[in-house]
Amino acid sequence: MTEEISYPEYSTHYPLLLKNCFMRPLSLYPDEIGVVYRNDAGKYFRFTWRQWHERTCRLAHALKSLGVNPGKPGQPGDRIATMSLNHHWHLETIYATTCTGAVSHPINIRLSLDHMAYTITHSEDKILFFDDAILPLVEALYDRVKTTVQKFIYVSDKPGKPKTRIEPLYEYEELLKEQPPTFDWPDFNEDTYSVLYYTTGTTGLPKGALFTHRQLFLQTLYTTGNRFLLPTLPNDPPNPNTLAVLINVPLFHIHAWQAPFAYVYMASKIVFPGRFTPENFCELVQTEKVNATSMVPTMLAMLIEYPDFHKYDLSSLITVGTGGAALPLGLKAKAEKIFPQFTVGSGYGMTETLAGVIGATIKRNMVDWPKEQLDQVRVKTGLANPAAIDAKVIGEDGKPVPHDNETIGEIVLRGHWIMEKYFKDPERTTTAWRDGWFHTGDAAKVDQDGYIIIVDRITDVIRSGAEMVPTVLLENLTCNADFVLEATYVGVPDEKWGERPMCLARCLPNSGKTEKDLLKYLETAGVETGKLAKWMLPDYIVFCDEIPKTSVGKYDKIAIRKRIDEFVSRAEKVGKM
């Protein structure tokens, strides 16, 4: 009789944990520069993977000494909040927290005080890390969160604590000094929660979304592997052996679209600018030979306006990913004209999807298409991540819409890294999850090639008579005008039609163009080419120095609607409906 072989649990159920991402660059490239930070004063901090790992080990010991407890499946560990810019301290905090089984909670420091206080108390954050630059904000919140937060940790590149009434207050670097440089990172169940994100609260109080180690690890593997699944175009530059990535998107925005996890796993050189400014961006690209980055479209617009970009050597930059809002073809073309060495593409995700779930990827049969045709593909919302995410666009009857590039429905999702439920919010969970699908609230259509194209938020669609005016289509077309940097559309109440479109546009400085010039452009480029029906043209156009935006760079249509009378009074009445 053959003796039955007993396989160890880790043979078939090896836990998918973030510590495995964390350890990879240390084991392969311990003495390479892995993390770079440039502060506002222009001082650089550079760490090898070994040095950065040792600092993170010291912080893990410090968290343990401060009483931080791990979680288990279904029961999150202590929540550790950060109110920080993009820098190496923030990255250390993320890994020291998650790899010990606690939950990383990056707080959006651009939210209102009410919403920040709500996320801290709702999540029951035990420890709060904050930067020296954020001190006034924390002091303003202190009375509202001091019964929830047990310990505050001050982060600065200058020694000493500030004079403040915040207590108990610890100094980050002092906490690390007496701690060992190694840490025995624990194994635990991969379904243990690792991160907690809150939405921006544009339709009410922010909603919290928890994600597990398994979800983040799978998303990281897919992000990494997907780079090698994309076809190579004839004029593509060679893939660099080492990615040097500039992290512009704030780490409080879904951990910069999961950048710390994917790029640590890939052993990329991670470059932090602290705050994004065009000057910081250009200097860091030149100094660190950055070859990849991501940003929201607003950042691209800021770079286009920056008058000194030609003073820098930006030739190392190859790819730029955009997200957070639809990428207008016109903005993409303007960016690639100024920075001809790189290609811009777009993707789609939301807080509840952890990061990107749909991307404007090129198929193999398209590699020989002319650039103009490829650009039309790159600004679409795109295709779902196959084998990981299911996505479809459904009509009001719950059935998929036809692939006719016309019929509008709602994007629904399911897959490995879609949020299971809102944290401590069963009612809104029930609203979002219906019939086994997560309902995004984004209106879209599908073209003949299966590419999804967002046309609006369901709540933002302008309803004129019995028809829907897709504002994203109008925004993209408006930004194609060579004198327009940014544009958005909202509905203005109308007695006859219910609503009529109003355009808010920000033009290039000294363009000399008028509202009627823009209308003429829309008639020529939109109506005469068949891209727009004439009734879709705006009745009002207003040129703005700034268009209201949310804390993550999206057009804030709620804020615009609250000031609708003000904008209408400033607008040029151009419509004839």
The pLDDT value given to residue 106: 97
Q: Quick one: pLDDT at residue 2?
A: 54
Closest CA to 532 of 470, 480, 488: 470
Pairing between β-strand 151-155 and β-strand 44-48 as defined by DSSP bridges? unpaired
CA distance 443 to 138: 38
Question: Which residue has 């964390």 as its token pair?
Answer: 22
CATH no. for 27-353: 3.40.50.12780
Output the six-digit token pair for 204. 């009410």
Do 462-573 and 27-353 fall under one CATH topology?
Answer: no
Hey, how many other C-beta atoms are within 10 angstroms of the C-beta on 314?
17
- Per DSSP, the residues of 437-476 read EEEEEEEEEE-TTS-EEEEEETTT-EEETTEEE-HHHHHH
Residue with tokens 């036809």: 402
CATH superfamily of the domain spanning 462-573: ANL, C-terminal domain (3.30.300.30)
Q: What is the pTM of this model?
A: 0.83
Task: Give the whole-angstrom CA distance, residue 46 versus residue 202.
Answer: 38
Number of C-beta neighbours around residue 563 at 10 A: 12
C-alpha span between 215 and 418 (Å, rounded): 8
By DSSP bridging, strand 33-38 and strand 269-272 are parallel
Strands 208-212 and 244-247: unpaired
What pLDDT was estimated at residue 520?
Answer: 93
Instruction: Kindly give, in sequence order, each residue whose CB lies less than 8 Å from that of residue 278, ignoring residues fewer than 6 positions away.
Output: 302, 303, 305, 306, 308, 309
Query: Hey, how many other C-beta atoms are within 10 angstroms of the C-beta on 413?
Result: 24
Below-70 pLDDT ranges, the chain: 1-8, 201-203, 324-326, 340-342, 465-468, 551-552, 576-577
d(CA 345, CA 332): 8
The span from the CA of 305 to the CA of 296, in Å, is: 15
Contact 439, 432 (CB under 8 A): yes
CA–CA dist 458, 409 (Å, integer):
9
Minimal CA–CA distance to 270: which of 472, 461, 21? Answer: 21
Residue boundaries of the structural domains of the chain: 27-353, 462-573
Going 516 to 522 to 525 to 527, the CA torsion angle's sign is negative
Q: List, in sequence order, every residue forming a beta bridge with 82; answer none if it has no partner.
A: 106, 129
The answer for residues whose C-beta is within 8 angstroms of residue 3's C-beta and 6 or more apart is: none
Strands 343-349 and 356-359: antiparallel
State which H helix or E strand residue 513 sits in.
Answer: none
Q: Check residue 474 and give its pLDDT.
A: 87
Strand pairing of 467-469 and 484-494? unpaired
Could you tell me which of 79, 136, 132 has the C-alpha nearest to residue 102?
79
